[in-house]
Structure 1
């Protein structure tokens, strides 16, 4: 990559970072190219040259965020972590995602952009599900998950857990008991409500 290409790439990344920051607080339909240009200290023409439209830019930012999250999850799974730590990681990532993209912003993006819906489904099916299945199968091999339970049932249970993570973690933040909530959620996942962990 020569000097010109490097500067162009740096400018493109700066535009994407600025857009991501603005999406944390802005309605995508009300976000203007002028706002993004000002935040990134570039001209509006530069944004159009790199991305073509505001919609294409927002789509690119969201895709990059998803790819990064999947790559980080894959790297974490490959590390020397217990199944408990991996489940905690999933819960925290759900929270991080909801803080980056407000759920209402996500709903609007999916409602207004069929290509985004297709992308999310394809990435989830192609990369997300295999990663979770690997986590479960590794847990069974290590004796951390009962082999009597099917992988599909465990995946459904984990989906239920992550779907409610935003509400539960918001409650914990308000009441100052985040660490205890995470510990208890992990306990429920592994031991249920009527048993104690083995020493």
Structure 2
């Protein structure tokens, strides 16, 4: 990458970071190119030259955010964590996401941008789902998951919990004992309401 390409990449990065910051408090439909340009200290012409439209800029910025989170998760997985550590990390990642961007924002972007929705679907099918299968199969080998439980059933159960992650995080916050509440949810995930006796695993 030559000097011009490095400068162009740095400017694009700055613009996308600015968009992600604005999205914390502003709906995509209310964002103006003029506001992005002013906050990023670039011209509106530069933004149009690099991204073509506001919609394309918002989409690329959000894709970059999703890709960054997935890359963080892959890096975490390289450390060969236990299944419980993976669940804890996933919950923490969800917590960070919902504290940064409202669930309503995600829903609005998916319904208003079919291209972004398609990208997320492909990301799940080609990367996230195979990773989840790998986690489950490795958990079975380590004795962390019952080998009698079909992987497809476990994936369906995890998917159901994932859909309710916002509600769980809100309940944790309302409880006034967020850490303990989420630890109890994790224990329910592993042991059910019967729990596990002291000294058992």
Q: TM-score, normalised by structure 1?
A: 0.94
1:37 corresponds in structure 2 to: 37
1:186 corresponds in structure 2 to: 186
1:176 corresponds in structure 2 to: 176
**Contact conserved, 1:94 with 1:162, CA < 8 A, in 2?**
no
Q: TM-score, normalised by structure 2?
A: 0.93
**Contact conserved, 2:187 with 2:195, CA < 8 A, in 1?**
no
**5+ unaligned residues in a row in structure 2: which ranges?**
none
C-alpha distance in 1, partners of 2:29/2:104? 12
What aligned pairs does 1:1-199 form with structure 2 within 5 A after superposition? 1-196=1-196, 198=200
What is the RMSD of the two structures over their aligned residues, measured on CA atoms? 1.4
Structure 1 residue 157 displacement after superposition: 1.1
Q: For residues 89-147 of structure 1, what are the alpha-carbon distances to aligned partners after superposition, in whole Å with 9 as ceiling and x for unaligned?
A: 11222222223332221222111111111111111100010111111111000000000
**5+ unaligned residues in a row in structure 1: which ranges?**
none
Structure 1 residue 158 displacement after superposition: 1.0
**Contact conserved, 1:12 with 1:50, CA < 8 A, in 2?**
yes
Structure 1 residue 173 displacement after superposition: 2.2
Q: For residues 11-69 of structure 1, what are the alpha-carbon distances to aligned partners after superposition, in whole Å with 9 as ceiling and x for unaligned?
A: 11010000001111111011100111111111111111110100000110111111111
Say which SS state the counterpart of residue 147 (structure 1) adopts: coil
Which of 1 and 2 has higher RCO (CA within 8 Å, sep 6+)?
A: 1
